[in-house]
Every structure is written in C-alpha cells, then in structure tokens.
C-alpha cells in the first residue's frame, strides 16, 4: 500500500478547477480550448494539479445509460491539463457544487430514492464510479478519484444513517480501487462531519476510508466570527482541521489533503485576501501530515449567472478575464518559496484531546470552533506547531513518534 501513502517532502499545490466561462454548465458545451486558456493561468501560478468535477446526471441521465461522449469530454479535459504539466484528481459524483445539487431524473420526484440507501440507485452509482474511474485511469496525469464533492451535502435530501453512509462510501471505494488500483481513492465531506454531533457522516469515515484524509476548511463555518479575517482562529483553521484529521486516524502515517481552502467574502475582504493566504499557508505547511493544498477555486464566477450564494462569485484565484487576484499572487509566491524545500519542525508538542472523533462522534460539538478545546488549541498554536492527540493514543509511544510529537499538553 506504499503507493497509497504519498507523504512526501514536498507539498502539492493546486486548484479546484471552476471553468471561467459558463461555470460547470460549460460541460454541456465542452471546449478543450477554453479549458486550455484556464489551465495556462493555473500553470503560470506554479500549481501542479487541478481537481475537476464532471456533472453526474449529464453523464448518467438514465441509471443504465453512461454517455460515452460525457466520458470523452472528461478525458479531453484531463489531456488539456497534461499539456500544461498539471496532474488531475477527478471527483466523480456531482452531486453538490457551490450550493447546487445536480441530480438525475431517476432519483427525483416520482422516482425519489435515497442515493445512500436505495439498492438500485447504489448499483447505478457503482457502475458510474467504475466506468469513470477505469476511463480516467488510462491517463497518466490522473492521480486520484474522489467519490464526489462533499457528498454529505446530498443529505438530508437523500436520507441516510451513519451506518448507511459508511457502507455506501466503503463500497464505492472498493469499486473504484478495483477499477484503477494505481489511483488514490478518496472520500470528501464538508466539515459538519467533524463538528456536528447529529451529522450522519462520521469522522471515522473521513479518517479511515480511502487512501488519505481530505479536509475542506471554510472560515465561514464559524471561525471568522471568532476573530476573522486575520485572527488566529481564522488563519489556523486549516491547520486545526488537518490536525483533527490526523488525530482521528488509526494510521499515524496517513496523509491529510487540504482539498479545499479559500478566502471567501465577506468574511475575508479583498484587502485581507493576501495576508490571510500567507498566514494560513505558513501555518498549515508546517504540519507534517499535510499532503497538499488545493485552492477553491481557480476562477471567479460570471455575475451573469444567477442564484449562487454571494460569496461564490469571487472565490477564484483568477477573474473571468484571467487576471491574477491577490490570493493567487500570494499563493504563487508561497509555492516558489516552498520549492527550496519544505521546512517541517522535527518534533512538536501535542494538545491531548479528551474526545476521540473517530470513536465518539456524539461528542463532536466539543471539537467545534468556539468551544473550549478549540480555543485552547488556537491559543497555544500561536507559539508554534501544535499537534492534537487523543487521550488513548497519547499513551502509545509509537504513535507519538510517528507523528513527531515530543510533549503532551493537557487543556486547562
């Protein structure tokens, strides 16, 4: 399984690819040339990868119909990325993107069935996962598939239970691995999985299923209300989530991918985007568990498109006219500095956490931003890198050594 433990001395940097023209609707009028123009922006900023998002119902409009041309367009996008030296992670089941759910008619209204629990729907999704994974694995620059973007946003519209959510993801990960043994296979959840005690997707899924843990750090989840835009809670939240993910994993070597992070307005206004980006990156890059950072997103959203949450329009590294924005310039500068070599402290202290997110999902609220544990971690993090370790694993010297933990601190 070494191939599945891609911890390395150098961090990966990329962008979640949002087409500058026509958002993801552009799949319906796919143009390799438009993608090339966008990828030129990203390669120019020094990024090494993109995360891309096919739209599920347009590729699988009927449960037993997977459109060849839909797959061909996805492969053409991947090939265009290769021309710019970009490797590609493919999210399969969209599913959820920027507040919109794309769902096929075969799970809607008169055919309403849960994506997570209906056997026929799961069979259809498994076929989709298998076919797409097999197809994208034919391209050397593809390194990962993720089951889908933040699939927990598809609940509550699709009912599920914690057990059903786990089984669903575990089965599909097996399907993807069978289709493409060489790829990383990943699960993706937004952070309610880490913080909401009633949420039917558990930290154990995030930290145990697939080949590495992905986290999505969005400061509008509550941290920016604490001290944003440049306060310590706000700028360390990405590092906090990576640490929580590392603490929840049984495997101390399991990498964590900061698969989404961005500078959303109005939490972080334009003038604060560059310093936020710098502080956030400086902090999280010291985390030995970190595999890479993928910015959300590559390009702004045309304001001619309606109904998006206001924050979604300005999240790009680049404008729709391909101009680099302040976060892009700061990210590019940071990437340049990292080329000289990543500096991770040889060891660091850890704050012992009374809650094990992997085994005590009912206690997740105790880990959420604003709580006592988070506040204490943020306070101590200001003096240097700080791990999180569960009380049980704090007694395991092998675990501590593997994670570079030299001192145990208890919350007051």
Q: Which residues bind its own copies (CB under 8 A)?
A: 22-23, 25, 28-29, 58, 61-65, 67, 69-70, 99-103, 105-106, 108-111, 120, 124, 153-154, 157, 304-307
How far is the C-alpha of 230 from the C-alpha of 401, rounded, in Å? 33
How far is the C-alpha of 39 from the C-alpha of 85, rounded, in Å? 9
DSSP 73-125: HHHHHHHHHHHTT-EEEEE----EETTEE---GGGSGGG---TTT-HHHHHHH
Q: How far is the CB of 270 from its own copies (least distance, A)?
A: 25
Q: How far is the CB of 172 from its own copies (least distance, A)?
A: 19
Q: How far is the CB of 105 from its own copies (least distance, A)?
A: 4
Q: Which of 317, 312, 337 is nearest to 327 (CA)?
A: 317
How far is the C-alpha of 302 from the C-alpha of 308, rounded, in Å? 10
**Degrees, nearest 5: CA angle 45-46-49:** 105
Q: Which is nearer to its own copies, 306 or 412 (CB)?
A: 306
Q: How far is the CB of 138 from its own copies (least distance, A)?
A: 21
- Six-digit token string for 180: 């493409």
Q: Which is nearer to its own copies, 131 or 279 (CB)?
A: 131
Pairing of strands 96-97, 100-101: antiparallel
How far is the C-alpha of 290 from the C-alpha of 239, rounded, in Å? 9
- Six-digit token string for 66: 């997977």
Q: Which is nearer to its own copies, 99 or 407 (CB)?
A: 99
Q: Which is nearer to its own copies, 25 or 143 (CB)?
A: 25
Q: Which is nearer to its own copies, 102 or 195 (CB)?
A: 102
Q: Which is nearer to its own copies, 62 or 138 (CB)?
A: 62
Q: Which is nearer to its own copies, 251 or 302 (CB)?
A: 302
How far is the C-alpha of 27 from the C-alpha of 24, rounded, in Å? 6
Backbone φ, ψ for residue 212 (5° rounding): -155, 170
- Six-digit token string for 333: 């500068």
Q: How far is the CB of 151 from its own copies (least distance, A)?
A: 13
Q: How far is the CB of 63 from its own copies (least distance, A)?
A: 4
Strands (E), 1-128: 12-16, 49-52, 87-91, 96-97, 100-101
Q: How far is the CB of 92 from its own copies (least distance, A)?
A: 17
Region of residue 99 (phi > 0: left; psi between -120 and 50: alpha; otherwise: beta): left
């Amino acid at each position: 399984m070494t191939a599945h433990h891609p911890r390395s001395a150098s961090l990966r940097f990329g962008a979640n690819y949002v087409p500058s023209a026509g958002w993801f609707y552009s799949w319906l009028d796919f143009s390799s040339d438009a993608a090339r123009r966008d990828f030129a922006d990203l390669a120019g900023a020094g990024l090494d990868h993109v995360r891309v998002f096919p739209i599920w119902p347009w590729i699988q409009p009927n449960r037993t119909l997977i459109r060849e041309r839909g797959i061909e367009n996805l492969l053409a996008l991947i090939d265009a990325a290769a021309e710019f030296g970009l490797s590609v992670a493919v999210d399969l089941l969209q599913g959820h993107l920027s507040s919109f759910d794309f769902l096929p008619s075969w799970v809607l209204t008169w055919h309403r069935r849960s994506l997570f629990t209906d056997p026929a729907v799961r069979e259809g999704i498994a076929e989709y996962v298998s076919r797409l994974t097999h197809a994208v694995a034919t391209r050397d620059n593809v390194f990962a598939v993720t089951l889908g973007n933040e699939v927990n946003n598809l609940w509550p519209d699709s009912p599920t239970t914690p057990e059903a959510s786990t089984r669903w993801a575990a089965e599909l990960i097996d399907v993807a691995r069978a289709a493409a043994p060489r790829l990383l296979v990943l699960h993706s959840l937004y952070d309610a999985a880490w913080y909401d005690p009633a949420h039917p997707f558990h930290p154990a899924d995030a930290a145990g299923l697939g080949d590495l843990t992905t986290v999505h750090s969005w400061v509008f989840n509550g941290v920016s209300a604490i001290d944003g835009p440049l306060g310590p809670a706000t700028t360390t939240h990405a590092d906090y989530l990576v640490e929580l993910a590392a603490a929840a994993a049984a495997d101390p070597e399991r990498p964590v991918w900061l698969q989404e992070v961005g500078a959303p307005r109005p939490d972080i206004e334009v003038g604060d985007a560059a310093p936020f980006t710098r502080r956030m990156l400086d902090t999280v890059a010291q985390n030995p568990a970190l595999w890479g950072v993928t910015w959300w997103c590559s390009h702004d959203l045309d304001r001619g498109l309606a109904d998006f949450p206001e924050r979604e329009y300005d999240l790009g590294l680049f404008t729709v006219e391909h101009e680099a924005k302040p976060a892009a310039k700061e990210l590019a500068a940071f990437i340049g500095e990292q080329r000289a070599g990543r500096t991770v402290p040889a060891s660091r202290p850890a704050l012992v956490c009374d809650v094990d997110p992997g085994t005590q999902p009912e206690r997740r609220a105790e880990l959420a931003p604003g709580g006592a544990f988070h506040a204490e971690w943020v306070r101590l993090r200001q003096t240097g890198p700080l791990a999180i370790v569960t009380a049980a694993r704090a007694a395991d010297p092998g675990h501590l050594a593997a994670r570079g933990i030299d001192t145990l601190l208890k919350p007051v």
